[in-house]
Structure 1
Amino acid sequence: MERMKERNLQVLKIVAAAFILAVICTCSAVSAANLNVDSEAEGGYTTIQAAVDAAKAGDTIFVSPGTYVENLKIDKQVRIWSDSRNPDNTIVKAADPAESTVEITTERVTFSGFGVEDSKKAGILLTGVNNCYINNNRARNSEYGILLQEAGNNNINGNIITLNEIGIRLEGSNSNTIQDNLVAYNYGFGISLEESRKNIIFNNYFKNAENIEENTVNADNTWQSTLSTKSNLVRGPYIGGNFWADLEGTGYSETCVDGNSNGICDVSYEVTGGGSDNSPLYPKVPNAVTSLESKLDAEAYEQGLADREGAGNETGTPVEEQTEENETAGEGNETNETEAPEENGAPGPGLGFTVLAAGAAYILKRRR
């Protein structure tokens, strides 16, 4: 009899704990909120940083079009989206150019749909974080467009990275995915990897002074995905490697041979610093490259070069743009936008109530 009472008491404790867990999880799921930012609104959030400071983990921040002069410090698991999904009309400029314009220091952050500009450090900096989603941004006029430091398993997807000293830089960062980006008209390297391994880099458009930094161990990274039937960045029929162009129009993808007309160069591209892109893209569809170029600004790049030469600037100094972006530069950017991956949510209430029912059944059985 005493043993039966002890067992029943243990079951009741388990049921109670499961019930409390279910209530907590339900409350947590309900508590996620949407916050809105408008630089001209009265009584609301007029800066993105104010909304980040007020947000809780799991919240989503929507930002109205405008220019926000601030240095963002994102230290909470939040999603930040521009309302328009257009990085040409929702812009974050560094208030202090000595600091990164946007710095992310926590995991599972989504940052999508912004122009990010004017830092002597990084436009977007991810430091010591995992599982962040950086999508559909235009990062320009900074030392580094996007910089990852000791960061892993992040997705850098569908961004335009241009007019920086270095487009994308990875330092001690492993297992990241870099795909579907336009990395073009940067004054130094398109991409630079230092002590970074197991990153997968595919379906990007590279066209820079130098596409890849030479003094890196690029063989430890993968420069193509598994060949799959899906339209690629230059509208070919297969997702594979990257499109390798140069400023003279004589890049590998621009001059390679595609004997079987599958939109993939017949011979692999040997990556500077080691490694190879085994499925480099070929411009099979007429005007596909022209369409990509319409989102960029070659004139601003040429003006930047002229300004550097005239002012005697040393390499590495960010250059102020002297010309406006083409009005059509952002058209079609919405196609880069993909839904952010789901964050790991708290367990739902189903498990708790299942345990509750099982416990009750057990007690009834024992009493019989």
Structure 2
Amino acid sequence: MKNIKEKGSQALKITATVFILAVICMSSAASAANLHVDPEAEEGYTTIQAAVDAANAGDTIFVSPGTYVENLKIDKQVRIWSDSRNPENTIVRPSDPAESPVEITGERVTFSGFGVEDSEKAGILLSGATSCFINNNRAQNSKYGILLQDAESNNINGNVITLNEAGLRLESSRSNTIQDNLIAYNYGPGISLEESSRNIFFNNYFKNAENIEENAANADNTWQSTLTVKRNLIRGPYIGGNFWADIEGTGYSETCEDKNSNGICDASYTLNGGGSDNSPLFPKVPSAVTALENKLDAEAYELGMETRGVEVNETENPAGEQTGENGPEGEENKTAETEASENGTPAPGIGFAIMAAGAAYFLKRRK
């Protein structure tokens, strides 16, 4: 009888605990608020920073289309989404170009759907940030498109990083996931690593004069995911490594062999400084590569190089405009992550002042 009473008492305690936790969770969910930023609205906030300052952890901030001239400081757990999910019509430019227009120092921040540009520092800076989700943004015309400093366990997903002095740079940053991004037509390296390890890069499209800056840290990172049956960003049948192109059209993925026609190069790609991509992507569906190129602006890149006194000798994309049994015309097979990132992408501005400011950096790299 005593054992029965004790078991009944334990069951009652467990039930009460579950009930209390459920109430706490529901209360937390109920307390989360949606804030709206619209400079033309009678109610709400006129700047993104004002909404961030007013938000509590767990709130979501929706931003109306427009150009916001601000240096955002995001130090709390909030979700910031453009209403349109379109980086072309929701732009953040710095009020102080010497600083980043977006600086994130908090945990579990989501920043999605913005064009971020024209900084002498980084378009998007993650400084000490952890577990953040940076998705579907276009970072351009800055010293670095996206810069991670002492940042850990963040997901950089589905962004267009282009026309910067360097595309993506990681400094003393660990365990970050870099996937589904277009990192192309940057004037310096597409990826630059310094004292950063255990990061994973996969299903990215690289097309820069120098895709990976030569550094021993490259060997301390992973350059492919586990081979998985799923559409990749060039509409091949497997998620694996990355697509390696270059400005001359002679990149590894553009010239490798795929004898078994599985959309993966037959041999691994060895990176500068060490490390390798063991499953580099092959353009099994050439029209998909053309579709990605249409999101970029090669002419702006060539013009930017001319301002630096560097001649660009770009050849025609070997993928061409082909369609066929491997890629029906008009078909849009994408990963779920890529679909989320393709709700809208802008045509880049040129940003001559920012380009000129980084000229010394680029020319130094070329010597």
Fold shared per TM-score above 0.5: yes
Change (3 A) 1:307 1:17: same
Give per-residue Cα distances to partners, 1:5-33, cap 9 Å, x unaligned: xxxxxx99999998776655443221100
Amino acid at match of 2:162: T
Inter-partner Cα distance in structure 2 for 1:236 and 1:22: 44
Which residue is equivalent to 1:179? 179
1:130 Cα deviation from its structure 2 partner: 1.1
Alignment map for 1:229-308 (pairs within 5 Å): 229-308=229-308
CA contact (8 A) 2:180 2:338 kept: no
Inter-partner Cα distance in structure 1 for 2:234 and 2:210: 21
Which residue is equivalent to 2:43? 43
Amino acid at match of 1:168: L
Change (3 A) 1:149 1:334: closer
Alignment map for 1:329-344 (pairs within 5 Å): 335-337=338-340
Instruction: Kindly indicate whether structure 1 or structure 2 has the higher relative contact order, using CA contacts under 8 Å at least 6 residues apart.
Output: 1
TM-score by length of 1: 0.79
1:134 aligns with 2:134: yes
Which residue is equivalent to 1:366? none
Q: Work out the number of aligned pairs and report it.
A: 309
Give per-residue Cα distances to partners, 1:310-339, cap 9 Å, x unaligned: 9xxxxxxxxxxxxxxxxxxxxx9994427x
Give per-residue Cα distances to partners, 1:24-83, cap 9 Å, x unaligned: 544322110001111222232111111101100000001111111111100110000011
Change (3 A) 1:25 1:189: same
Root-mean-square deviation over aligned CA pairs: 2.4
Q: Sequence identity, in percent?
A: 79
Which residue is equivalent to 1:225? 225
Give per-residue Cα distances to partners, 1:172-197, cap 9 Å, x unaligned: 11111000000000000000111111
1:287 Cα deviation from its structure 2 partner: 1.3
Range with bigger deviation, 23-32 or 289-298 = 23-32
Amino acid at match of 1:28: S
Structure showing greater radius of gyration is 1
Give per-residue Cα distances to partners, 1:133-163, cap 9 Å, x unaligned: 0000000001110111111111000000000
Which residue is equivalent to 1:358? none
TM-score by length of 2: 0.79
Inter-partner Cα distance in structure 2 for 1:231 and 1:43: 43
Q: Hey, which bits of structure 1, 4+ residues long, moved more than 3 A?
A: 11-26, 332-336
Which residue is equivalent to 2:34? 34
- Listed as ranges, the gaps of 5+ residues in structure 1 are 1-10, 311-331, 339-368
- Please state whether the residue corresponding to 1:30 is helix, strand or coil: helix
